[in-house]
Structure 1
Amino acid sequence: MQFILLILVVCLAIALLATIWPLFVFLALIVVAYKIYEVVYFNGKKFLSIKEKIQAHIDDCNDLNQHIEDLKSTSLVVNRTDYGEAEYHDASRWNVKREALKNQKYAPYIYDCSRTVCDNARRQPFKYVCKYFGIKADEPTLERFEAALNDFSAVEDGKVSLKKEREQIMTSIDADVPFLIKKFSGKKLEAKLGFDEVDFSTLYFPKYEFKYVSAGGNTSTKYDVVMDIDNLNRFVTFLSEKIKFKKSAAGQRALMTSGLRQYIKERDHFTCRYCGASISKEPNLLLEIDHIVPVSKGGLTTEDNLQT
């Protein structure tokens, strides 16, 4: 009986394939034809002329993209001692081996701790980051975190400018690009034009990680303190309050928050007070905020002593 059913199923499958195989052939021919059309278009004079016309703008975009990627490489402070590394061997019986313990390795931004420390780090992350990652509340540390905040703020501003610039370039050639290419080969079109691949994610933000793994390896918990723009702003304020030097040079620099920077840029109409360069003229321009009277000479971080 089963053999007969098998024969029937095979016969039905053959009949079905005999009915629909022309459709598969037709679809395959369409795909092949489009691929040929795609190759011909991207190697044609019309596309090459479009690419040549906007090459300077694409180069500007790629330069900005590279600058953004360079800023992302900013590293944060960590002063943990490296005690070396030992090789792990587990001679336990097979049913009590714990892979989580085997995979534990030294990493400067990961602290393997007790469950209590892990829970406390969740409630007071900044305090425990300072305590267990060797971050001292002093002027050099504050300056490094402020520098990281400046770089990451510039990255986020640059990403907005870059996205806008790319959209403007693609809009400028929209009428010259065939509909099929825009519809089915959008990513390839950007690559063929010469755009570098852009990462608009926020995964570059560094983090301090507190991780607990039980003795047997069955239970694990971790808390990540991600130093994004908001957390960096708050951490700079935390350090400033902790070391209590609001009137010192480093304390004045700590008052330069991203919100204050944005306010000064808007007040100055996004125009450099020194050279007159403006975002309206140079969309990819990354503006900085300076003290008119330098902090080193007693200048304060106040609105009337700041300029773009």
Structure 2
Amino acid sequence: MTTNKRNMKILLYAIIWIILTIISPKLGLFILLTILAYQIYLYIYFNSIKFTSIKDSIKKYTNNSNELNHHIQELKCSYINVKSYDYGSSILQDTSKYNLKRREWSNELKNNQVHNCSSTVCKNANSQPFKYLCKYFNLKTDEETLSNFENVLNDFAAAEQGKKLLQAEREIIINSIKNDIPVLIYTLSKERLIKELGFETIDLSDLYFPVYTFQYVSAGGNSSARCDIKLDVENLDKFVNYLSGIVKFRNSIQGQRDLMTSKLREQIKVRDSYTCKSCNISTHIEKNLLLEIDHIVPLSKGGITSESNLQTLCWRCNRSKGAKIL
């Protein structure tokens, strides 16, 4: 639960309690004492020898879960920010003596992933997002850019799959000790229980997907429009195919390589029987195992994206390999 949601929940409980206290002071006092008693009960239980024993019994699984969680966060950081011009900073003030309200000026965004443009460009970007993304955000349509975005797609797809598998594995672990946990705590304080067991919070948001924005704000500041291009897994898949069509036209080397798309990732896993080529662990043994696609000879060392140069590795082996050639 995020801090904002937690604060809203506390505020809601406080409002309900105040209303009940006004209606019936005795009922309000009873509820307050019940809440305090339950909090004391939680404190005593989570500091008890029994709970410590349960926590220690799953410590290995807790550590593995947290390690995978860290790996997923690393995968989310694979996106390489595209260099953009820095035009400096300034402050725009409306000093009109007629005191006009240019409301849209204050909503204008300024960062290296926002392009301020005419309404026509904004509209055209909505019709042809990838074409305008390359044109106005200095993305070269060459082999290097294609490879970079293939890597980003590969990591983002693994991160999204990893989040689901991590949740499922965590639920299995918690369910395995369900009968040892008091029903009241398991039912009313499951989030607190997960935290006390040592599990770190799983970030399920998709805020790490880069978003490029075409923004139009009229000179008068009274009208505006924007087109957002969100490079999530689905859109990255399409973008890689778009770049491939252009690069293939300009560079014959494209005929010697495959595209690291979601389809190819799945093909490699099927070919390798969903088994890590390094440690031989498979999804048949570990149901919620995160498998990733690795370049046997890294791109940085002259390798290319082709079926013969791709292999399935579990996230642990892939993480330890890095840029090494096994």
Alpha-carbon distance change, 55 to 252 in structure 1, aligned in 2, over 3 angstroms: farther
The alpha-carbon deviation at position 272 of structure 1 amounts to 2.4
> For the Cα contact (< 8 Å) 2:296–2:309, is it kept in 1?
yes
Q: Distance in 2 between matches of 1:106 and 1:167?
A: 42
1:56 pairs with one of 37, 60, 73: 60
Match of 2:149 in 1: 145
Alpha-carbon distance change, 274 to 300 in structure 1, aligned in 2, over 3 angstroms: same
Alpha-carbon distance change, 137 to 42 in structure 1, aligned in 2, over 3 angstroms: same
**TM-score normalised over the length of structure 1:** 0.84
Instruction: Output aligned runs, 1:50-89, within 5 Å.
Output: 50-89=54-93
For 1:110, give the aligned amino acid. V
Gaps of 5+ in 1: 1-15
Match of 2:140 in 1: 136
> For the Cα contact (< 8 Å) 2:141–2:243, is it kept in 1?
yes
Alpha-carbon distance change, 49 to 252 in structure 1, aligned in 2, over 3 angstroms: farther
The alpha-carbon deviation at position 220 of structure 1 amounts to 1.2
Match of 1:301 in 2: 306
Q: Residue 227 of structure 2 aligns to a residue in which SS?
A: strand
> For the Cα contact (< 8 Å) 1:205–1:228, is it kept in 2?
yes
Alpha-carbon distance change, 98 to 252 in structure 1, aligned in 2, over 3 angstroms: farther
Q: Residue 276 of structure 1 aligns to a residue in which SS?
A: coil
Gaps of 5+ in 2: 1-19, 313-326
For 1:38, give the aligned amino acid. L
The alpha-carbon deviation at position 246 of structure 1 amounts to 9.0
The alpha-carbon deviation at position 269 of structure 1 amounts to 1.9
Match of 2:232 in 1: 228
Instruction: Output aligned runs, 1:97-176, within 5 Å.
Output: 97-102=101-106, 104=108, 106-176=110-180
For 1:57, give the aligned amino acid. Y
The alpha-carbon deviation at position 266 of structure 1 amounts to 2.4
Alpha-carbon distance change, 249 to 20 in structure 1, aligned in 2, over 3 angstroms: same
Q: Distance in 1 between matches of 2:59 and 2:99?
A: 62
Instruction: Output aligned runs, 1:186-205, within 5 Å.
Output: 186-205=190-209
What is the CA RMSD across the aligned residues, in angstroms? 2.9
Deviations 1:146-196 (A, max 9, x none): 111111011012112211111111111100000110111111111111111
Q: Distance in 1 between matches of 2:21 and 2:230?
A: 55
The alpha-carbon deviation at position 268 of structure 1 amounts to 2.1
Match of 1:244 in 2: 248
Q: Does 1:178 align with 2:182?
A: yes
Kindly tell me the number of residue pairs found equivalent between the two proteins.
292
Percentage of matched positions with identical amino acids: 46
Alpha-carbon distance change, 136 to 29 in structure 1, aligned in 2, over 3 angstroms: same
Q: Distance in 2 between matches of 1:151 and 1:80?
A: 23
Q: Residue 41 of structure 2 aligns to a residue in which SS?
A: helix
The alpha-carbon deviation at position 83 of structure 1 amounts to 1.9
Q: Distance in 1 between matches of 2:94 and 2:282?
A: 63
> For the Cα contact (< 8 Å) 1:149–1:233, is it kept in 2?
yes
Question: Which structure would you say has the larger Rg?
Answer: 1
Q: Residue 96 of structure 1 aligns to a residue in which SS?
A: coil
The alpha-carbon deviation at position 247 of structure 1 amounts to 7.7
Q: Does 1:287 align with 2:301?
A: no
Q: Residue 104 of structure 2 aligns to a residue in which SS?
A: helix
Q: Residue 111 of structure 1 aligns to a residue in which SS?
A: strand
The alpha-carbon deviation at position 259 of structure 1 amounts to 1.3
Alpha-carbon distance change, 17 to 202 in structure 1, aligned in 2, over 3 angstroms: closer
The alpha-carbon deviation at position 210 of structure 1 amounts to 0.7
